[in-house]
Structure 1
């Protein structure tokens, strides 16, 4: 919600007027010099929306404020050119309405377009988040990262490396929206106060690493490359089991962490719906974008969300730090998932992350069943993984 500064107004006053953490106001207005605010400048108020209201018989600013539990001056702020003594029936006012519930419907099959639309909606209401394009997919779709928080500790979550594991995207989006609501409403999540997390953790989220593949699974092949994709898919027009990117390369077999071993033992030696590691490591733009992101941002820990199995993997060749074991114990405790240190699989993002940085990295296998997991599992998966999200930030 945008407001126009009046003479004497400050961000500190707005934090009191709207009962918002001062830091969220600062971060929502990074483009402004907060020490040189001038009347007439526009300021963002996070966690609020200005909603039209038509004046009814008997209404005054005072009765409207009282009935809706609003600050009287907040109504004045949004209606600077309205004389409160000359309200007429049918006149439209703007009222500041606090957003107290999620504004997106996370429990849905997310296409790349839906993801972009929802990220725009969230950034409009919560302008203290930053959305970066970290790369492009094969079909030139943006791979988007959401940044939130100011802390020294840097934590990263990602989802939909694999196309038919698309349910990991809405899981991340639900956590993002719940986190934002908690911050602007002074709420805790499972008893954890989130403002201290915001101030101590810089959170990075990439909800959809593989947008082309996800769209293929959910919407079918683009007409321009339909025949090529059917050929890669062994003549089948059914793409719900497709795991790779649009080139037929498994993005989670693309990393230089014993890639040669994976290449030799994989049955797939050419583009396929799943399990082809490519002709060389880091050949695909999506894999390159994620590698570049980790190199440019020194993440302290990384969680890659996959499905399925209700288990997670956290070791690679003994290079994982002691901190990984402690976190794994906590993840198992809060999720009920099985903790697996080593698994006979290489060349994944988690493997490369541990090898490259010797920091805690985890592959989380959410839910149980046959991919793609149905949305009927969404609520259970979210409750399972919610504690893991929180532990990864506050531990």
Structure 2
């Protein structure tokens, strides 16, 4: 058993997932907790150690989930646990993890916020030294916005996610891809039939996994009275403490309506006149530091191709006011074939990042609307969404 200092955003469920133990094990090891469901940053708690080859089943776990987390084939996991019914895992039961299995760094089965992302990026950069980790600036609340580069090819590609706060599952998609890609490069593996080292040598990829960290934190954790925007956020959210539908940044500005691509037209099209959960374009283009940081990155790096990942709709937007290169539609059709999504020629939309990129550089840019349903998409949808989006990501790195 060892001590752990609670950080902002920690919950018992997140800690149990992170350390591979059961929630009840943490509760039993901390009888001093008056309310185990409320952890306070700075609080010191005890974390029980688990056996090095054991994993305690969590609520909602499946054998497939666990095999992914530990990067071990399901057949090996089932063979190591002959007395366990793979179809009826029971929370609290222990599974033997076969020797040599390695826990996947990016956890794709629970809420995934800024803290998880920054911790995972540090671990990934240590495990895969060819990753280049830096940042592009800070959010309104001063959170650094990470940037990670992988690859050394001439084609310069950019992926980004979580422009909209309640679309945070796009961050998980990008982080999972980064780990899978790096692992495949290290071991000369393949992704969707393509050798990872070919992709690595063909393209240089810059990923910003979370453009809007303040907004993601608001969606996942809500707001407390000590927050500097507490009163404003509640007013903008019509008095509700439920911020799960919030798209904007912490100042109530929609970051994907912030770009100088007919911004005035988009302002006139929107009916939102002030800060709120969605669709407020701000007082001028690029007033928000998060949107400005992406624009400056694009200007400084001169990408050949960009992909902004959003949810939802299973669609690929590839055009902007007929300013896109002639090959854009054919590339979009290849992306559609690789994913099963629909390539759509979009009209009646301005001021988005993809719009501005096409207008500014006359190069190919895409908005990917991943998944289907109602935002925020449940994390249980992640496996099926990822398998389809993976085709787009791999195709984007090819010649």
Which residue, out of 300, 313, 318, partners 2:322?
A: 318
Asked if structure 2 preserves the Cα contact closer than 8 Å seen for 1:107 and 1:170, the reply is: no
Q: Does 1:305 align with 2:288?
A: no
State the 1:106 CA deviation: 3.1
Asked if structure 2 preserves the Cα contact closer than 8 Å seen for 1:132 and 1:145, the reply is: yes
State the 1:342 CA deviation: 2.2
Q: Does 1:236 align with 2:235?
A: no
Alignment correspondent of 1:69: none
Q: Does 1:174 align with 2:176?
A: yes
State the 1:385 CA deviation: 0.6
State the 1:99 CA deviation: 8.3
Are residues 390 and 99 of structure 1, via their aligned partners in 2, closer, same or farther at CA, if it must alter by over 3 Å?
farther
Which residue, out of 86, 104, 107, partners 2:106?
A: 104
Asked if structure 2 preserves the Cα contact closer than 8 Å seen for 1:102 and 1:181, the reply is: no
State the 1:108 CA deviation: 2.9
CA distance in 2 between counterparts of 1:101 and 1:218 reads: 25
Alignment correspondent of 1:199: 201
Are residues 189 and 101 of structure 1, via their aligned partners in 2, closer, same or farther at CA, if it must alter by over 3 Å?
farther
Asked if structure 1 preserves the Cα contact closer than 8 Å seen for 2:109 and 2:380, the reply is: no
RMSD, aligned α-carbons: 1.6
Alignment correspondent of 2:163: 161
CA distance in 1 between counterparts of 2:340 and 2:185 reads: 27
Q: Deviations over 1:18-66 (max 9, x none)?
A: xxxxxxxxxxxxxxxxxxxxxxxxxxxxxxxxxx9xxxxxxxxxxxxxx
CA distance in 1 between counterparts of 2:100 and 2:350 reads: 48
Alignment correspondent of 1:128: 130
CA distance in 1 between counterparts of 2:111 and 2:357 reads: 29
CA distance in 2 between counterparts of 1:235 and 1:331 reads: 42
Larger Rg: 1
Aligned pairs for 1:56-75 (under 5 A) are none
Alignment correspondent of 1:376: 380
Helix, strand or coil at the partner of 2:251: coil
Q: Does 1:353 align with 2:357?
A: yes
Alignment correspondent of 2:221: 219
> How many corresponding residue pairs?
300
Alignment correspondent of 1:150: 152
Q: Deviations over 1:104-142 (max 9, x none)?
A: 213332211111101001011111111111010000001
CA distance in 2 between counterparts of 1:332 and 1:149 reads: 24
Q: Structure 2: which 5+ runs fail to align?
A: 1-51, 53-98
CA distance in 1 between counterparts of 2:159 and 2:325 reads: 19
Are residues 298 and 100 of structure 1, via their aligned partners in 2, closer, same or farther at CA, if it must alter by over 3 Å?
farther
Which residue, out of 336, 344, 347, partners 1:332?
A: 336
TM-score (norm 2): 0.73
CA distance in 2 between counterparts of 1:271 and 1:364 reads: 26
Alignment correspondent of 1:81: none
CA distance in 1 between counterparts of 2:156 and 2:354 reads: 16
CA distance in 1 between counterparts of 2:255 and 2:355 reads: 13
Alignment correspondent of 2:271: 267
Which residue, out of 270, 287, 296, partners 1:283?
A: 287
Q: Deviations over 1:319-365 (max 9, x none)?
A: 11122112101011111111112231110000000000011100100
CA distance in 2 between counterparts of 1:208 and 1:348 reads: 16
Asked if structure 1 preserves the Cα contact closer than 8 Å seen for 2:311 and 2:369, the reply is: yes
Q: Deviations over 1:80-104 (max 9, x none)?
A: xxxxxxxxxxxxxxxxx99877332
Helix, strand or coil at the partner of 1:322: coil
